[in-house]
C-alpha cells in the first residue's frame, strides 16, 4: 500500500457521537461545509455523494462507503463525478475519531490522490476542519463556511 | 495557540515544516538527510511540533511517517482574517511571489 498523501489532525471539544453525526447530518454539513450535504445510507458498499444542499444535481464528489464503524471510523472513496469511472482518479478518505479524556481527536487521512487533486485538497481540508470545530464548540460555524465556496478563493489558496 | 506560536518561533522547526511541505510523509531518517542538525536535535524539534499539532505522525508498515498538519495555522488565519479580506490578501501574496521570483 502506498503511504498516505495527507494527514490532518484536529482536536475538538465534543463527543465521538456528535462528531460522527456532524459528518453525515445535512443540517450540520450545511453549516460548516460550504452549504453542502453528504448523501448516503452510510452502509459499507453503498454509494455516497457530496452535493449542494439546495440542488441535488450539483454533485461535487462521489464515491463508495468502504468502512463504516460509528462513531469511530468512516472510510470512503472520493472522486470527481466526471472522472469516477477511471480507477486512477479515485482517492480514499478515512475519518478516525478517537475519544480522549476531555476532547475528541479527529484524524483525516487522504490516500491515493493524483496531482490535479492535490491543490484542491490542501486548500480544502484545513478550512473544513476548522469550521467543523468552530461549529461543534460554539454551535455556529464561521459565517464564511455557510456560503457556497468562492471559486477564486479556492484557486488562490491552492498553493498554501 | 501559545504552543503553535512557540513551536513556530524557531528557524530549525520552520525548516522542518518546509521540508514536509515540499514532501509530505517523511521518516526521521529522511528528515535528517542533508541537515546540519543532529538526529537528537531533530527528534526534539519534531516532538515540539507534534505537541503543537503542527505535525501528525502515523505508522506505515515498519516506518513512522511525519506529516505537516496545517490545521492550526489555518485557525490562526481564520481568527484575524475576515472573509472579504481573504481574496485580496491572496492576490497580494501572489503579487509578491511573482515579483520576487522574477527578480531572482
DSSP B9-51: S-HHHHHHHHHHHHS-SB-HHHHHTT-SS-HHHHHHHHHHHHH
A129/B71 Cβ within 8 A: yes
Cα torsion through A75, A78, A81, A85, rounded to 10: -90
In this structure, what C-alpha cell is assigned to residue A54? 439546495
Chain B interface, mutation test: which of A1, A5, A10, most B Cβ atoms within 10 Å?
A: A10
Under 8 Å between Cβ of A7 and B58: yes
Query: Could you read off the pLDDT of A45-60 as tens digits, one per residue?
Result: 999 999 999 999 999 9
| Chain length of chain A | 160
Residue B81 has pLDDT above 80, yes or no: no
B67/A6 Cβ within 8 A: yes
ipTM of the complex: 0.81
Phi/psi for A151 (5° steps) reads -65, -40
Give the DSSP H/E element, type plus range, for residue A4.
none
Rounded to a whole number of angstroms, the distance from the CA of B40 to the nearest CA of chain A is 24
Chain A interface, mutation test: which of B51, B59, B74, most A Cβ atoms within 10 Å?
A: B74
Kindly report the pTM of this predicted structure.
0.85
Which residue in chain A is spatially nearest to B66 when comparing CA positions? Answer: A7
pLDDT for the residue A149: 61
Measured distance CA(B53)–CA(B72) in Å, rounded = 7
A107/B56 Cβ within 8 A: yes
In this structure, what C-alpha cell is assigned to residue B35? 541537515
Lowest-pLDDT range of A77-91, A111-125, A130-144, B28-42: A111-125
Say yes or no: B78 contacts chain A, CB-CB below 8 A.
yes
Which residues are CB-neighbours of B4 under 8 A, at least 6 positions away? B52, B53, B54, B72, B73, B76
A153/B71 Cβ within 8 A: no
Of B56, B70, B91, the CB nearest to A126: B70
Amino acid at each position: 500500500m502506498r503511504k498516505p498523501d495527507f494527514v490532518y489532525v484536529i482536536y475538538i471539544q465534543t463527543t465521538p457521537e456528535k462528531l460522527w453525526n456532524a459528518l453525515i447530518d445535512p443540517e450540520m454539513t450545511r453549516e460548516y461545509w460550504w452549504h453542502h450535504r453528504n448523501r448516503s445510507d452510510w452502509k459499507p458498499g453503498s454509494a455516497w455523494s457530496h452535493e449542494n444542499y439546495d440542488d441535488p444535481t450539483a454533485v461535487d464528489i462521489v464515491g463508495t462507503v468502504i468502512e463504516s464503524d460509528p462513531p469511530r471510523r468512516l472510510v470512503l472513496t472520493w472522486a470527481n463525478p466526471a472522472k469516477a469511472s477511471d480507477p486512477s482518479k479515485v482517492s480514499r478518505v478515512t475519518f478516525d475519531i478517537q475519544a480522549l479524556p476531555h476532547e475528541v481527536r479527529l484524524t483525516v487521512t487522504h490516500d491515493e490522490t493524483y496531482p490535479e487533486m492535490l491543490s484542491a485538497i490542501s486548500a480544502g481540508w484545513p478550512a473544513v476542519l476548522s469550521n467543523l470545530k468552530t461549529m461543534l464548540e460554539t454551535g455556529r460555524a464561521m459565517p464564511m463556511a455557510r456560503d457556497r465556496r468562492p471559486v477564486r478563493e479556492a484557486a488562490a489558496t491552492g498553493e498554501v | 495557540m501559545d504552543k503553535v506560536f512557540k513551536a513556530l518561533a524557531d528557524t530549525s522547526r520552520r525548516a522542518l515544516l518546509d521540508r514536509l511541505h515540499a514532501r509530505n510523509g517523511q521518516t526521521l531518517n529522511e528528515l535528517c538527510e542533508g541537515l546540519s542538525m543532529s538526529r537528537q536535535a531533530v527528534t526534539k524539534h519534531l516532538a515540539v511540533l507534534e505537541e503543537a499539532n503542527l505535525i501528525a505522525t502515523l505508522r506505515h508498515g515498519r516506518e513512522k511517517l511525519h506529516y505537516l498538519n496545517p490545521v492550526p495555522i489555518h485557525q490562526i488565519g481564520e481568527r484575524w482574517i475576515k472573509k472579504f479580506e481573504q481574496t485580496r490578501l491572496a492576490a497580494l501574496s501572489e503579487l509578491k511571489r511573482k515579483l520576487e521570483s522574477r527578480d531572482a
